[in-house]
Structure 1
């Protein structure tokens, strides 16, 4: 069974909407059986791929996000942000950009927050393409801003410090938000009739008191990791416990809510781990067929310039990100690209930030970006409205990727400064 047949089978299964994990599992098991490989070996590869201490942070971060959403933390932050920015034209657009860190998943943010924010913007007189574009683009910050699930996966695959990758991702995440804010500013200038609310210090004080405790979670997580006090896995556990106790203390979370929270976190974790396991099996098959070596020789024969290599990585990651989950793309491509990057003297941390950001752009890239279809499904909007609403926001994100490609050392300053 050739690699070409294997890839065609996987592509066919993906086209008929078979879940990514099973689209990988089926052809790979068929390959193992037809090439005299032990099915027991395949099962060991699948089980060993998820038996990793760094990956233990994934379910804990997912649990933290589930607890925060169920406890209504986003509502408190939303009210405070509106109190601060109510007088600013396009305030709802700016506020939407501030809620991308809640779940760590672009698709989850687009689905959950889109149901709330898009109707609110439409009622306030914003155009539908604008509302769709803001929510879709803001959701892309979630997997880049720490704590980032794709960053945890990449760090485990690449054998690098998760804390260092988190530190390197902070500045790009803020630059993403700044670039998207610029697009919002330019767009709302053409909408002079947008409603505004009077600024009130009493309202700011009231809503501000309600967000002091929730803002302790990112301080504990990022401060603990970047300060070297805890590992990312330990920080995730402490953060989840803090959010759980906070929900009980604020009386926005009750014991009867816990089964639903745990089931939601377990389902999300299960889907991610299935993808990791199936992609690891596919990686074994590709390695056995010397695909990584062939790609490496092709790239090295094509160019000796690290910048050209990074441009190819950007294009490949973006294209794959339009069709596949980020976890699947990372698990498939990191073992192939990392050794090649070493030959170009590309730092693995810079490579990781570029790959994750490129895949996020792919999620919002017409015509097949996953986030685009999520927005269309939850709003019943025309696909053309989602396309045209998303395109302006892709400009600053693409420019940021180009900045990382031409100046990769710039994002390494913070982790080097922190000694990570």
Structure 2
């Protein structure tokens, strides 16, 4: 009964548009008051969820991404992508997807990708005659590639929750992330050909080489992260700090676009982003503690396994649950609450924790582009100045491809585990 009160109030608050973090905190507070549990549980559980050295990587990676953005990285990645695929039919749409693939190694979050790429690409696509809804759809869905590649904040959260190697998680998401990007490129091209969207001029090798060199220093950040972590030279947190120093040097002395007067604003933006993420993690940990105390994880596990113990069915049921949760809940909150709940169920049918982590992140990423709480969907539609309904209509073929990739990744573990196995 108390668990129903918790969930009912949480869903009601979401329905009224209350931010996820506050929906979690208010529903948890009401539960504790009604149940007569001391309110000291709130700071204790929040601290327990944040008391991890690895969590320090989050603000550092966010700061590194903000420094690179201020240093002109976004335009350079777009220029390189456009030089490679811009001459193909629907070139700007393909550039949009390819840019997200390159930008993924800088931001680590889908929302940052949508905002950075979308602010440049959506107006450019509309100007060249692409539909506003299509432009928003491509931007929104392609941004889901980002968290599959390092430095992925969701992967860091998972590694912290389950004491899994973050380096292995970074590697595990690479092949699924690339498959996702390839799928989106195919859909973008097919629609562009059908609608006769424009294509740009084919660039010479010298132009491609010049744009690659411009984007090289930004893309090198991913290599530094993986080389440092997998080589044992530094921890994920230390890697994040190294990336901050690297991003400052590249933006200031290589690209020469980062101004010292911009640093205070960048730090303030980083503080805001970090505070919102960590506050969300803290409240989600309190919410998760209540679920455990109410025995909800066991109920969910028993409920799934009571339907079937067949691994194929169990994995499918988990995916359906995650897709539904992703439609209503922010990714990080969902990870903190559900990963510890569902991991034992996944392991009971033979899923490796790393493989399950990839499947869970990919499932929740799809939710970022689906109503009613798809933040990437809303941001892209805002940039395109188009109703959400039009963007959703254009998203349908992309979502279908994302679902196909998700199913393949879920039932072919080697796609996630091949790269980590090379570094064992």
Q: Residues 276 and 328 of structure 1 are in contact (CA less than 8 Å); yes or no, is this contact kept in structure 2?
A: yes
Residue 138 (structure 1) aligns with: 142
Residue 84 (structure 1) aligns with: 84
- Which of 213, 220, 228 aligns to 1:216? It is 220
CA distance in 1, matches of 2:112, 2:197: 32
Give the stretch that moved more between structures: 134-143 or 297-306.
Answer: 297-306
Task: Please state how far the C-alpha of 1:366 moved relative to its aligned partner.
Answer: 4.3
Residue 12 (structure 1) aligns with: 12
Task: Please state how far the C-alpha of 1:218 moved relative to its aligned partner.
Answer: 1.7
CA distance in 2, matches of 1:195, 1:348: 43
Whether 1:323 aligns to 2:309 is no
1:377-396 mapped onto 2 (5 Å cutoff): 377-396=382-401
Whether 1:29 aligns to 2:29 is yes
Whether 1:160 aligns to 2:170 is no
1:180-191 mapped onto 2 (5 Å cutoff): 180-191=184-195
Whether 1:283 aligns to 2:288 is yes
Task: Please state how far the C-alpha of 1:327 moved relative to its aligned partner.
Answer: 0.2
Residue 200 (structure 2) aligns with: 196
CA distance in 2, matches of 1:303, 1:80: 49
Q: Residues 369 and 375 of structure 2 are in contact (CA less than 8 Å); yes or no, is this contact kept in structure 1?
A: yes
3-state SS of paired residue (1:381): coil
Residue 269 (structure 1) aligns with: 274
TM-score normalised over the length of structure 2: 0.94
Residue 258 (structure 2) aligns with: 253
Structure 1: runs of 5+ lacking an equivalent: none
CA distance in 1, matches of 2:68, 2:270: 12
3-state SS of paired residue (2:216): coil
CA distance in 1, matches of 2:378, 2:215: 33
- Which of 234, 238, 247 aligns to 1:230? It is 234
Task: Please state how far the C-alpha of 1:14 moved relative to its aligned partner.
Answer: 1.3
Tell me the matched-pair count: 419
Whether 1:71 aligns to 2:76 is no
Summarize deviations over 1:254-290 as a string: whole Å, max 9, x none: 2111111111111111111111111110111111111
CA distance in 2, matches of 1:353, 1:228: 22
Task: Please state how far the C-alpha of 1:23 moved relative to its aligned partner.
Answer: 1.1
Summarize deviations over 1:85-127 as a string: whole Å, max 9, x none: 3322222112111232132222222233212111101111222
Q: Residues 124 and 195 of structure 1 are in contact (CA less than 8 Å); yes or no, is this contact kept in structure 2?
A: no
Give the stretch that moved more between structures: 246-255 or 200-209.
Answer: 200-209
TM-score normalised over the length of structure 1: 0.95
